Structure formats: C-alpha cells, structure tokens
Homo-oligomer: A and B are copies of this chain.
Amino acid sequence: MKISLIGSGNLATNIGVALFNSGNKVVQVYSNTLSHATSLADKIGANAVDDIYNVSDEADLYIVALKDDVLENIIPSLCKNKSDKFFFHTAGSMPMDIFKGYAEHYGVLYPMQTFSKQRIVDFKVIPCFIEASDELAKSILENICSDISDRINELSTERRKYLHLAAVFACNFANHCYEISSEILNENGIPFDVMLPLIDETAKKVHDVKPKDAQTGPAVRYDENVISRQMQLLDGNPFNQEIYELMSKAIHCTAINKNSDL
C-alpha cells in the first residue's frame, strides 16, 4: 500500500522512518513549510509538498500527524476527492470522529512515546493504540501498525483521552521536575549530570515496583523539618515553592491513603 504522510514534525519523522525501515512505501510528505517536508521526504524516498490541495490521491492511506488545531482545520481540504481512501490521525486527545463526513474509512494510530526529530527511537517497543471506524479500516491499520510496532492495543476515543492525560503527567510533568532540578543546580554551580544516575534509577524502579511503593524522600516520611527548610531555600522562586508545597502534600496524602489500604 502507498502511504502519504501529512506532517513532518517530531512524530511524523519517527513514524515515517519506522515505515520506511519496515519496507513500506511512503510516496509523499506534506508540510506547510516546504523545507521541513523535503527534509523528511529525502530521508524516506518520498516527494515533498507544501500545498494541501496538491497532496496526491495516488496514496492508499494517509497518516495525519499534525498539531491538534491544525489537524481539525485541514481535514476538509485533505479528504476532498479522496473520500474512498483510508485516513488515520495520531493525536491522543482528538476523537476519531473528526474524520466523520469527510472520509468513509478512518481511525487513529496513537503511539505512546515522546518524539524528537533528532532522536529516532525504536518504534518496535512502543505501545501503539488503535481505533478504527469499521472492520476494513481496522484490518488496514493493524497491518501497517504491526509492521512498525510489536505492541498494538485497541482503545476507544474516550479512554485514549485518559491515556494522553496520564502521559502528560508521566512525561511532560516529570520532565518539568527535571527542569526545576537543573535550575537549582545551575544556580549553585553544580552540573546537571550528577542527577542522571538518580533520574535513571527513579525511572527504572517503576518497572518493578508501583510508583507509590517506590516513593522516598522527606515528603513520604513527612519530615516537616526538612520540608520547611527546603521551602525556605525556594524563597526567591514562589512558583517552584508552590510546586514544592503541593507535591509534598500530595505525596504525603498518597502515603496516608496507601497505609489505610493495608
């Protein structure tokens, strides 16, 4: 099957390379910035296009990896004269039915990972969550998806929303904790790389132990002396101080609830 890739960002780049490496034929890459489209298209033997009306109808299926707001606006133009083709978007928070009325066969392919153009990750181990409008779209989606990932799961629009929310906590918010950590170290002339073994072990630990059982530190012990001293260290940064206070309370409450479960 011939594939057209709508988008050339972090996710599009990673999915494009995974499709190419698994022997699939990507015929065209669209981006509204031609240089971005070309950059990805050149990597995977495709043509580049920067006008949505020039997206060819020669492909059998269209994978749409765009920002949520762009995605919604582009669908009518994209699907025009191609309503018999297959359309799949990759957005965690967007319903499958945004294609409804514009295409007959459609669905969602949501890979649970954080992507950067500069880091091509191993797609095989990424859990991919799929949803399809009908049996035909589902079988097409399963075929393509099993070429690039060993971990395919079906998930409805309703539950995918929560999966995406969970990912925001596990990835974006955890990363912001790293960011605050690096700010504090930076202000005190300590290189961030001293924190890497700790960050790695914290991530590794939850492979074997539930996060609430893995918790350590002053908040879970509710060591009020340490907590109040650390709050004072953050006096110059009310934002980080507020995060510190809220997270410490949350950790303490989780520990209390856990103990009352026993």
Q: Which residues of A approach B to under 8 Å, CB–CB?
A: 10, 67-69, 93, 112-116, 118-119, 121, 125-127, 151, 153, 155, 159, 161-182, 184-185, 187-190, 192-212, 214-221, 223, 225-226, 229-230, 233-234, 239-240, 242-244, 246-247, 249-251, 253-254
Contacts and interface: CB of A to CB of B under 8 A. Distances in A.
Contacts of A169: 177-178, 180-181, 184, 244
23 contacts: A68-B225, A112-B197, A113-B201, A114-B205, A119-B208, A126-B197, A151-B194, A153-B194, A162-B188, A166-B180, A166-B181, A166-B182, A167-B181, A167-B198, A167-B217, A173-B251, A174-B202, A176-B211, A176-B215, A178-B211, A192-B210, A199-B206, A243-B247
A169 B204 CA distance: 17
Contacts of A218: 93, 168, 172
A121 B119 CA distance: 28
Nearest to A234: B165
A167 B185 CA distance: 9
Given A68-B223, A179-B212, A185-B166, A171 B112 contact: no
Given A165-B233, A215-B176, A69 B225 contact: yes
A187 B163 CA distance: 11
Nearest to A158: B188
Contact of A172 (B171, B216, B246): B216
A19 B126 CA distance: 39
A243 B170 CA distance: 13
B211 A182 contact: yes
B126 A223 contact: no
Given A170-B198, A171-B198, A195-B167, A239 B250 contact: yes
A197 B122 CA distance: 10
Contacts of A239: 249-250, 253
A192 B208 CA distance: 11
A161 B229 contact: yes
